[in-house]
Copies of this chain bind each other. A is one copy, B any other.
């Protein structure tokens, strides 16, 4: 690569792009950790994107109609930090750049959405960015259908590397985006032919262009170091039909005399000598973190480029009715619908009277029948299990290229991309996503579900078939460790409602979150309504509550969730018949219970009684509540699963694994 020629050919561009490269090298060196090669390789593409194409205003990173920029190759975080600093983003000061990867810095090792307004999504786990971006593009199209092109009309741009494209989740995202014909999605592939282990050819020989084309994408290409060629490709990308891949041929660690085009440029500081040599080649005679004022000014002008467009948008927005404006502001901020509480209250009253015996997945469908008409921002879906997850309420139409007003997504057999797309929708704002699969297949979506929690996005996972109670499909489909998994994950609410009323309460709480995802673990099998006395209060909100009090002296406390609450109640009948006073505590959400003050927790779980928990899952999350938080609360037992399930009718499985009222009662008695 003849850098001298490049410098000469486009000297203004060269300076702008080199400012990024220099900051990336300097910051990684100062941190003594990080990834310089990718920002150095993609600086030219990013410069052209920000200078000529990206719709943004650095002074207003949360402008609702901005283009979204997603750095899927999140390890190249210095690319986005450099861009933000140079453009004049208020949060990314030079001090922050110098503090790259240090304690308390907003310039974390990987970009974190909760640290910087302009970071649209946390990236780092490969393949997540491109998949999350699909959800952003879908949200934009949904809002455009709802508010018109004058209010929502923007693109989502993604920079993805070979790592992103090798991850399986990327195929799910590519398929989903192709199906949805998302013309507002443009992926810039940093095609540098290098992964951590060496050249891409040691692990892959996929023709990526052909692969994207196979799913209906438009594929363009450019020389990723020629600004004119980049500009041509990006211009064409904006006009293309459907989602676009731009194959940007780049060199990792571009310009580094000894490390360019090699994995050695990927994930470690270049070293002072190599940085000096590289700056020499760049014609960049400046010290660490030094950006000449003239170049900074040019970049700040780029950062301010969108101000006029934003002002015009503000004017258009101001023409909406006050109600529309308020609603739009609320939903972009993931604010809670004022209609939610009333819809749930009405539903609970009706159902506590009707007292249906239905599976909680069915109860969930019934709740959605109350929520969806009232809360217009919901977007539901399923990973090809609509009739099993019961996620589509009847007034919903399908969201697709022909019907952007639809609110139901057929995600296909793509659990991971569904979860990531839901993250993208919530991050974009304006829609409130929920989606379903079998609870066991949280295994397929874990990467994105963890990000829902880390990124503080109120996504709702509708996870049906939540135990051996699903019966004949057998152990591959029967969760036993998944409640423990969800409960172990920080900032996640895991609900396992016991009946139609708790299901409604769980939904109310889930739909009221603004910074926490929820998992609803729902039964396949029918369960009676246990809460037949209507209470406006949401009892699930406290996580655990007494659903049946002991008669006589309280000798035992049974705790249970979901389908096992009914079993606990029957066990109580057995015990009470033997004059063993037994309280039953329903625990629809351990995390919420843990958040209650000690007084409440002690009130529900007082010392002095034998405790037995019943849950068709592993014991691990229960020890805390069984054994007492300070280990002095008394004897305890557990009735649940300690191995994988089996294939047979549900009732027989419950008997086989001893999750029966009789066995619960025996367990209590053995401890008395």
Contact = CB atoms under 8 A, between A and B. Distances in A.
Interface of A: 31, 33-34, 74, 101-105, 108-110, 112, 122-126, 162-163, 166-172, 175-176, 178-179, 195-198, 202-208, 210-211, 213-216, 382, 384-388, 398, 400, 410-417, 440-441, 443-444, 446-447, 450-451, 453-454, 471-477, 480-481, 484-485, 487-491, 611, 618-621, 623-624, 626-628, 630-636, 642-644, 646-649, 652-653, 656
Contact of A633 (B171, B476, B624, B631): B631
A611 B611 CA distance: 22
Contact of A216 (B205, B454, B489, B656): B205
A214 B206 contact: yes
Contacts of A112: 474-475, 647
B484 A620 contact: yes
Nearest to A473: B109
Nearest to A382: B197
A398 B201 CA distance: 13
B33 A472 contact: yes
Given A74-B476, A170-B171, A443 B125 contact: yes
Given A104-B648, A167-B172, A179-B204, A472 B31 contact: yes
A166 B162 contact: no
Nearest to A201: B179
A627 B475 CA distance: 31
A362 B648 CA distance: 46
Given A125-B440, A175-B166, A635-B630, A488 B484 contact: yes
18 contacts: A108-B646, A168-B414, A168-B444, A170-B171, A179-B203, A196-B384, A197-B386, A197-B410, A202-B400, A206-B216, A211-B211, A441-B447, A453-B644, A480-B490, A488-B618, A620-B624, A626-B631, A632-B635
B414 A166 contact: yes
A386 B196 CA distance: 8
A660 to B, nearest CB: 15
B490 A110 contact: no
The residue in A197, A214, A476, A477 that gathers the most chain B C-beta atoms within 10 A of its C-beta is A476
B413 A656 contact: no
Contact of A384 (B195, B410, B628, B647): B195
A105 to B, nearest CB: 7
A631 B611 CA distance: 10
Contacts of A631: 611, 626-628, 631-636
Contact of A33 (B122, B471, B619): B471
A412 B196 contact: no
Query: Lowest 5 CB-CB distances: which A-B pairs, in order?
Result: A168-B168, A203-B412, A627-B627, A171-B171, A623-B623
Given A110-B473, A382-B197, A620-B484, A103 B413 contact: no
B446 A163 contact: no
